[in-house]
Amino acid sequence: MNTDHFGVKIAVYPGSFDPVTNGHLDIIHRASKVFDKLVVAVLNNSSKNPLFSVEERVELLRRVTSDLPNVEIDSFRDLLVNYMKQKNAHLIVRGLRAVTDFEYELQLASMNRKLDDNIETFFMTSTPQYSYLSSSIVKEIARFHGPVGDLVPEEIERALRAKYTKN
């Protein structure tokens, strides 16, 4: 297994996390037990129109992962492989909910490996209770003031309510 120069296994879990869901948190908690350090990296994707700003997503993630000492929350706007070099990391964590996720994730993993052959991608399957869950679904339910308490942490539910009360 690739490790950095100090023998510490550093993994990066990239994503938009708009908003972070219980499914994301499940992967974060499980990955934090596997790797010495897990960097949860919020992608600043200018082609998307997110509900929460990058700064808000980073702050919300910090709040809901504060009990995990080996988890760092950060953001990036570059190619993931360039960000990985900055973090001296060689391991990418990706969650898989269903077979349909696998094709897309395999493409990303293959491209990342082509760009840097020191990069490995670790796929973690979703816990079955979260296999249907996505940030898009959560936002759609919250937008129409539906219940999302079982889908996101309480902190995120409050933030969603505040966003959709303003709109």
Q: Residue 131 corresponds to which tokens in the numbers above?
A: 């296999």
Residue 1: band (very low, low, confident or very high) from pLDDT cuts 50, 70, 90: very low
CA dihedral 82, 108, 14, 142 (to 10 degrees): 140
Concerning whether 48 is annotated as a catalytic residue, the answer is yes
Considering the segment(s) 10-166 as one domain, its CATH architecture is: 3-Layer(aba) Sandwich (3.40)
Tokens found for residue 43: 């992608």
75 as an active site residue: the answer is: no
Q: Are the C-beta atoms of residues 161 and 24 closer than 8 Å to each other?
A: no
Q: How many CB atoms lie within 10 A of CB 136?
A: 10
Q: Using CA atoms, how far apart are residues 140 and 159, in angstroms rounded to an integer?
A: 14
When pLDDT is cut at 50, 70 and 90, the band that residue 7 belongs to is low
Bridge partners, 39 (sequence order): 12, 72
Which residue among 48, 77, 145, 158 is the active-site one? 48
Q: Which member of 90, 126, 135, 139 is catalytic? A: 135
9: alpha, beta or left, given left = phi > 0 and alpha = psi -120 to 50? beta
pLDDT tens for 72-102 read 999 999 999 999 999 999 999 999 988 778 9
Cα 14 from Cα 5, distance rounded (Å):
22
Is 97 in the active site? Answer: yes
80 carries a ligand binding annotation: yes
According to the model, what pLDDT value does residue 167 have?
57
